[in-house]
């Protein structure tokens, strides 16, 4: 039964549904923020979540709240109308759980609870007003769900506030969060008085001891205005991969860029066409906030996260016993939907493992999971026209909306799949992102892809046939061991693809017949 009428939990812990009632397939989260109203519908793929729908409306509920103490009247009308649409859309999509969560503006406004009550009356769904500490915790949980080995401080910028909380993925730690009244929309009401803006920020962060825990570590950034800054930096540096999640800037260049952006007038920002005007007008003040946070926290780098409160809430609904690597779970889910036959990425990974004894590029654990990811995705482009399979496999895997994979790792997986579908090593489609991989990683990715291409040539996609053959490596040779008899695994195509793999590895190739009827 869809959980449209879950109790209003008002207290900091939003809780979770009773998992004994059945697994959740689709989860909808409506985030009623100070600046925007956003709906995200997540689809469960095994033990992870994928965004099925993501829609936002810039309502500016918190505009003027610092002076009036009440919600923006124009924003109220827009928010109520779009809340009704979001709830109706969620129901039409058959979600199993729907949560409407209100943050700083509704929490602080004198008429915030009246607005929430009217929204509940019109939509028939509880509106949960959460406290600042819980808002910080959910944002931190979202970052941990989306970024592998996160260690530092999460800063979530909204229209009305900034939430700060310590995170450490090594032990799953989420510290006690604090909420500071220095949101971008709130500070924009100070106009172009940069001194007043800076003093307001410094007063707010002066007692935020958690910020000092970012020293030498990472400051993880959540929020639309900060994502807009990431887009601007990508354009300015001509960065080849336009994916915000895990986009990283070292402290010094970040400070230099923020200094420039913070000094821009609203009129000068209007010339930027890639970001909505409503978002752009808050970018200079968002840059000022971030610049002061960096100065106070002294992080080694900043990392932008596309995962935040909504993802943290939805991830918390998954049963603890179902936890696994989100990247591999997502790749397995994609494979189940897009592969021809019964896909088995782990069988492929084990079959290719002998020729990658060390995985020097990324190291043991990380290298293994990236090989597994590529193996699970190795049949996703089979339905494309043969001339376009390599390009489609590269682009789709490079930009897939999955968690816990950095930009360099994305390029590695995409490069492996490009080679798996016969893409040339000098294909122009790889030129822009090639600089994100060193030669060792690029060579390893290509070799993995060619090994997968050989596996599919041998098996025709019936991967259980690989149990009859074995690929081994000696110091100077690559050896394909075949059954003692039979013609299933011999032929020009097999030899050609074995030789291509040998050249990539710098090894001579040969085939041998085993004495038994199956390879040892």
CA dist 213 and 431 (Å) reads 39
Taking alpha carbons only, the member of 201, 184, 163, 199 closest to residue 284 is: 184
Per-residue confidence (pLDDT) for residue 516, from 0 to 100: 56
Pair type for strands 26-32 and 37-45: antiparallel
155 beta partners: 164, 221
Per-residue confidence (pLDDT) for residue 295, from 0 to 100: 95
Q: Which CATH class for the 133-310 domain?
A: alpha beta
How far, rounded to the nearest angstrom, does the alpha carbon of residue 404 sit from its chain's CA centroid? 6
Strand runs (DSSP E) across 223-272, as ranges? 248-250
Per-residue confidence (pLDDT) for residue 5, from 0 to 100: 37
Per-residue confidence (pLDDT) for residue 394, from 0 to 100: 98
Q: Which residues contact 147 (CB under 8 A, 6 or more apart)?
A: 169, 220, 245, 246, 303, 305, 307, 403, 404
CB 361 within 8 A of CB 444: yes
Q: Which CATH class for the 19-130 domain?
A: alpha beta
Per-residue confidence (pLDDT) for residue 145, from 0 to 100: 92
Judge if 133-310 and 326-462 fold alike in CATH terms: no
Taking alpha carbons only, the member of 379, 396, 389 closest to residue 332 is: 379
What's the fold here for domain 326-462?
A: Hypothetical protein af1432 (1.10.3210)
Report yes or no on whether pTM surpasses 0.75: yes
The domains of the chain are located at 19-130, 133-310, 326-462
Q: Which residues contact 110 (CB under 8 A, 6 or more apart)?
A: 69, 70
Helices (H), 434-474: 439-459
- Mean pLDDT in order along the chain per 10 residues (520 residues): 36 38 79 95 86 94 92 96 97 96 95 97 96 94 93 94 90 86 90 88 92 94 94 94 96 96 72 66 92 96 97 90 82 90 91 83 81 96 95 96 94 98 96 94 96 97 95 95 93 96 97 66
Q: What is the dihedral of CA 391, 396, 399, 405, to 10 degrees?
A: -110
Per-residue confidence (pLDDT) for residue 18, from 0 to 100: 40
Going from the C-alpha of 200 to that of each of 186, 280, 446, 470, the distances in angstroms are 11, 21, 53, 67
Per-residue confidence (pLDDT) for residue 517, from 0 to 100: 44
Per-residue confidence (pLDDT) for residue 321, from 0 to 100: 63
């Amino acid at each position: 039964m869809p959980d449209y009428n879950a109790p209003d939990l008002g207290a900091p812990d939003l809780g979770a549904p009773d998992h004994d009632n059945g697994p959740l397939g689709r989860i909808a989260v409506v985030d009623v923020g100070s600046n925007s109203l956003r709906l995200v519908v997540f689809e469960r793929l095994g033990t992870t979540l994928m965004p099925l729908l993501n829609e936002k409306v810039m309502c500016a509920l918190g505009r003027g709240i610092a002076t009036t103490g009440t919600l923006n009247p124009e924003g109220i009308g827009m928010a109520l109308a779009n809340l009704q649409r979001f709830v109706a859309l969620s129901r039409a999509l058959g979600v199993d759980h729907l949560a409407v969560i209100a943050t700083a503006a509704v929490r602080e406004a004198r008429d915030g609870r009246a607005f929430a009550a009217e929204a509940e009356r019109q939509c028939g769904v509880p509106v949960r007003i959460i406290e600042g500490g819980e808002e910080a915790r959910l944002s931190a949980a979202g970052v941990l769900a989306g970024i592998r080995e996160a260690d530092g401080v999460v800063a979530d910028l909204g229209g009305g506030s900034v939430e700060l909380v310590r995170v450490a993925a090594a032990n799953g730690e989420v510290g006690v969060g604090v909420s500071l009244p220095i949101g971008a929309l709130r500070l924009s009401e100070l106009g172009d008085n940069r001194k007043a803006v800076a003093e307001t920020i410094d007063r707010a962060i002066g007692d935020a001891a958690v910020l000092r825990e970012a020293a030498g570590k990472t400051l993880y950034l959540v929020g639309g205005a900060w994502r807009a800054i990431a887009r601007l930096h990508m354009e300015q540096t001509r960065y080849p991969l336009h994916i915000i999640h895990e986009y990283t800037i070292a402290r010094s260049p970040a400070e230099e860029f923020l200094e420039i952006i913070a000094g821009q007038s609203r009129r000068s920002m209007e010339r930027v066409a890639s970001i909505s005007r409503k978002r752009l007008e808050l970018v200079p003040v968002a840059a000022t906030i971030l610049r002061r946070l960096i100065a106070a926290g002294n992080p080694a780098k900043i990392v932008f996260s596309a995962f935040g409160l909504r993802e943290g809430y939805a991830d918390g609904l998954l049963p603890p016993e179902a936890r696994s690597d989100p990247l591999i779970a997502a790749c397995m889910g994609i494979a189940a939907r897009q592969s021809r036959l019964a896909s088995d990425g782990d069988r492929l990974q084990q079959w290719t493992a002998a020729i990658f004894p060390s995985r020097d590029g990324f190291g043991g654990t990380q290298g293994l999971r990236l090989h597994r990811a590529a193996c699970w995705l190795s049949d996703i482009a089979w339905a494309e026209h043969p001339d376009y399979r390599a390009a489609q496999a590269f682009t789709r895997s490079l930009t897939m909306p999955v968690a816990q994979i950095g930009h360099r790792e994305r390029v590695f997986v995409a490069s492996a799949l490009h080679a798996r579908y016969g893409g040339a090593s000098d294909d122009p489609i790889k030129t822009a992102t090639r600089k994100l991989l060193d030669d060792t990683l690029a060579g390893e990715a290509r070799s993995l892809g060619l090994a997968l291409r050989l596996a599919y040539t041998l098996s025709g996609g019936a991967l259980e046939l690989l149990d009859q053959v074995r690929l081994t490596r000696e110091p100077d040779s690559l050896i394909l061991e075949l059954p003692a008899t039979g013609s299933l695994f011999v032929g020009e195509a097999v030899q050609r693809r074995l030789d291509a793999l040998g050249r990539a590895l710098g090894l001579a190739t040969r085939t041998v017949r085993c004495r038994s009827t199956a390879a040892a």
